[in-house]
Amino acid sequence: MVARRLALVVAALAVTAGTATACTDANGTEGKDYVPGDGIVREIAPVDRRPPVEVSGETLDGDPLDLADLRGSVVVVNVWGAWCTECLEEAPLLVDAADELPAGTEMLGIDIRDLGKDQPRGFERKFGVPYPSLYDPGSETLLKFPAPFNPRATPSTLVLDRRGRVAAVVSGVLPSKLTLLDLVEEVAAEDG
| Residues 27-42: tens digit of each pLDDT | 333 444 444 567 789 9
Is this prediction's pTM over 0.85?
Answer: no
Contacts of 130 (CB under 8 A, 6+ apart): 95, 98, 99, 107
Question: What is 27-188's CATH topology?
Answer: Glutaredoxin (3.40.30)
User: What is the per-residue pLDDT for 8?
Assistant: 36
pLDDT < 70 stretches in the chain:
1-37, 192
Q: Would you kindly state where each structural domain of the chain is located, as residue ranges?
A: 27-188
